[in-house]
A and B are shown apart, each in its own frame.
Chain A
Amino acid sequence: MAFSKEKIARKHKLDFTEGKKYNMVATGVPKLDDVLCGGLKPQSTVLLCSQPGVENVEFALQTLFNRLKAGDHGVYLVNNKLPNSVKLLAEEYGWDLGDYQRQGTFAFFDAYSAMLSLKSGTEYYSSEPQNMQQLSEVMPEVLAKLENDNIILIFDALSTLIDSTKNEDEVLAGIKKFLSEVRKYNTISFFLFTEWLYPKSLTNKIKSLFECVIEIKALERSVILQKYFSVVKAPQAFERKDIPFKIIKPGGVRVFIPKILVTGPYHAGKTSFVHSASTKAVSVNRLGTTVALDHGHVEYKGYEVDLFGTPGQERFDPILELLGGESLGVVVVIDSTMPKDFGRAKEMVKLSNTVDLPVVVVANKANMKGALTVDAIRKQMKLPANVPVIPVVAENMADVKEGKPCQLKSEDVQKVFSALLEVVV
């Protein structure tokens, strides 16, 4: 989806002129670069602060791999597991760090083996991993060898470091010194931190040491229902919002929208839309019409979206509210040639109890005789200017068969998704 800095600036009354002075470093984590207005500032220090039970390593690894691919260098300091297990984890996501290790543009820094009195198998290691003073002296030597315009440094994990020492003030002073030392070498530092019931005062002090803080949290009832991340602090203008995500293997961090309702009158083309948009889809049909629901899963530019399509016939109205529950947005599919059904489309949004959600109107059959223009549809449906109306047509009219979902033009479907993600995320 196109990143709209201007749109974010307008919405939040932000001034991006300061950010323009810098060449922002893109993380490659979907949506994160958008909310950071392009990415991270060079030499910035980032705290990836997660709630227990929610992943944070993947955010750092994804950025590391994307930056290595872009020609940056990297070093991964690990104090809670063997470096090889990080490498194996990265491989599961499809990120082969071995190539960069062989090229000499990436290295592990082993701060774990010494904790177990083991001999390290890596070139760079610490004999006193709990001693930040020592790390502050050794790390610059590593960074000097890795010299580059941008070096990504990952510190996995700050919580382990805090857990392993008794003097928290000493650790905080050590981190401060470490950060000031490493930034001399064009590093962007990511510190992984899990909030294990530390005193609030300690957590606040830790957050104050970093220029950028990204919180990774979960909506939890009996179990975790939804994970999301948000930027809560950055040196440049940023958009403060919760981005739902999930982690997939291979792939990594994906923005995840668990439910988008697709509704609209009978025969408008809902099933065609769900099937055309989805990488996999299933419909409960009888005699060529949906009698329960359509379900599709969409993978689109780092986003994962689940679509739930409703039946259009009035006899199924009692299940609309059930299908609409917990949706994050609505796609209303209408037949552009059937203005008499537009009222029914609005009624279905009301019945599914999704009136207040972000909505995109898909004007299907836009190339057919009698089809209304976008403006005419907007006027007739009394849609506000901020509701996108996207005309869509069949890929090939010759393939359109009564009672069968047809393939919609993929560029039209992509336009719908761009508009949808713009309003939902």
Chain B
Amino acid sequence: MILEKIPQNSAVVVISPPLEGKEVLVSSSIKDDLKEKVPVLIISTDKSAEDFKNELVKEKIFFGDAESKGLLAFIDCYSMHVGEAVKNTSSIKRVPGPLALNEISVALSDIEKEFFRKSPKHCIVFNSLSTMLMYSNPQAIGRFVQVVIAKIKKAGGSAFFTLEEGMHTPDVIVMMEHMMDYIVFVKRENGKLFVKAKGLDGFEDWGEFKA
């Protein structure tokens, strides 16, 4: 299993064309972590926290009381951005949008502090980098990602970033890859999901992914 082979405290970017299965891989990682009582933070830039939760349920990931126990949290960068008058909840922090980089980093620091008290390891899922790259200069997002990865690793966490293939120029992809420890590619063929990973022994070639 590819996810089991990725060492703790790593930064990983998961790349695939839109709707080609990144979500399945990421959801599978969330499921594994929650099962092990590892806290998970989902930073959502292209859908609300509530929609993300619905999708997890659709993927048959039932998180039970993880939210109330502080093991599952969200930073919702979407709802306020589209003008919804939403408020924070105990597990959802709303930030004003994908360009409010400092607000995102403040929310991330606050939640990591809570996670750090609960567990020596945690996982941050950043879905997706493509939305941020759409709105800002890639250099700026590069600086942001570099800072965020350093913070996450310092706190003992692992980071998963998702990136849409075909939406960005090759130099942007190379810049993002450069900051990561592992690059996972996902594709769908004949209804099956295939993955390969740069930097991970035994997974350099395409192989079928089974959740």
**Inter-chain contact A164/B136, CB cutoff 8 Å:** yes
**Inter-chain contact B156/A89, CB cutoff 8 Å:** no
**Inter-chain contact A223/B116, CB cutoff 8 Å:** yes
Given contacts A84-B83, A85-B96, A223-B116, A196 and B109 within 8 Å (CB-CB): no
Closest to B82 in A: A82
Kindly state the interface size class of chain B when it binds its partner. Answer: 20 to 34
In the complex, chain B residues whose CB is within 8 Å of the CB of A222: 116, 154-156
Q: Is B71 close to A, CB under 8 A?
A: no
In the complex, chain A residues whose CB is within 8 Å of the CB of B143: 163, 196-198
Cβ-neighbour of A197 out of B103, B137, B147, B151 (below 8 A): B147
In the complex, chain B residues whose CB is within 8 Å of the CB of A159: 101-102
In the complex, chain A residues whose CB is within 8 Å of the CB of B156: 222
Stretch at the interface among A30-38, A48-56, A65-73, A206-214: A48-56
**Inter-chain contact A196/B140, CB cutoff 8 Å:** yes
In the complex, chain A residues whose CB is within 8 Å of the CB of B140: 162-164, 196
Q: Is B198 close to A, CB under 8 A?
A: no
Q: Is A219 close to B, CB under 8 A?
A: no
A57 and B100 CA atoms in complex are apart in Å by: 11
**Inter-chain contact A81/B106, CB cutoff 8 Å:** no
- Residues 79-94 of chain A, each 1 if its beta carbon lies under 8 Å from chain B, else 0: 0111011101100000
In the complex, chain A residues whose CB is within 8 Å of the CB of B101: 52, 80, 159-160, 163, 194, 196
Cβ-neighbour of B144 out of A55, A112, A162, A196 (below 8 A): A196
Q: Is A115 close to B, CB under 8 A?
A: yes
- Residues 298-317 of chain A, each 1 if its beta carbon lies under 8 Å from chain B, else 0: 00000000000000000000
In the complex, chain B residues whose CB is within 8 Å of the CB of A85: 80-81, 96-97, 100
In the complex, chain A residues whose CB is within 8 Å of the CB of B144: 52, 196
In the complex, chain B residues whose CB is within 8 Å of the CB of A194: 101-102, 105
**Inter-chain contact A82/B103, CB cutoff 8 Å:** no
**Inter-chain contact A82/B99, CB cutoff 8 Å:** no
Interface residues of B in 115-152 (CB under 8 A from A): 116, 135-137, 139-140, 143-144, 146-147, 151
Closest to B77 in A: A81
Closest to A54 in B: B106
Q: Smallest Cβ distance from A74 to chain B, in angstroms? A: 19
A80 and B102 CA atoms in complex are apart in Å by: 10
Shortest 6 CB-CB contacts between residues of A and residues of B: A163-B140, A81-B96, A85-B96, A53-B109, A80-B99, A196-B143
